[in-house]
A = this chain, B = another copy of it.
Amino acid sequence: MPDSVLSPVSTLCLAILHRGEATGYDVKKESQDGDYRYFVDASFGSIYPALARLAADELVTVRDEPQVGRPARKVYAITDKGRSALLDALSAPPGPDIFRSRFLLVSKFAENLPAEVLRRAVEDRRKHLEDEIAHLAGIADECPDSPALQWITDYGRACLGASLDFINARGDELVATAQDVKDAAE
């Protein structure tokens, strides 16, 4: 009965706490810089209330840690109940990945947009992908001990790599279908 389906943010918190203690601030960092970006990018406005609720439900414990010159940290730790709730949640069928791309919408309207807009969009995309790939490499290097983490970063690199390859190989082709290709031939 205590399996009142976890919200994404709560799941994120538990997942991070599974590794060890953390504060709300830490959770936020992990979710945007760490190896949880592919899952959710949560803001404080959702993390703090989520942690409070997890504590109320006894899935985590809190410890107040006063500091000099700074506000006291609230250090959270996962409980056994929390651990099993997480594993339960993870055991449910994960459903399809979510992929949302404004870039593809822009691409679709290539014929109706100025070449310059397309050029910038493609350039942006290339850069985003390169950054992501570099970032993944960094994560993988940090913990070479976990086979699961190696697997997911390899997976990420396979997908992002294919994406980048495609952009490199056929980005120009997209720009060439733009509305006003004429001024590119000058």
With A100-B38, A158-B163 as known contacts, state yes or no: A93 contacts B121, CB within 8 Å. yes
Which residues from 31 to 46 on chain A have a C-beta closer than 8 Å to any C-beta of chain B? 35-36, 38-40
B117 touches A90 (CB 8 A): yes
Q: Assembly of this chain: how many copies?
A: 2
Is A102 part of the binding interface, using a Cβ–Cβ cutoff of 8 Å? yes
A101 touches B97 (CB 8 A): yes
A108 touches B177 (CB 8 A): no
Chain A's interface size range is 35 or more
Is A91 part of the binding interface, using a Cβ–Cβ cutoff of 8 Å? yes
From residue A93, how far is it (CB to closest CB) to chain B in Å?
Answer: 6
Q: A94-B105, A99-B100, A108-B148 are in contact. List 13 more A-B contacts (CB 8 A).
A: A11-B105, A18-B112, A38-B100, A38-B101, A39-B105, A87-B112, A93-B121, A94-B106, A96-B132, A97-B102, A109-B148, A158-B165, A159-B159
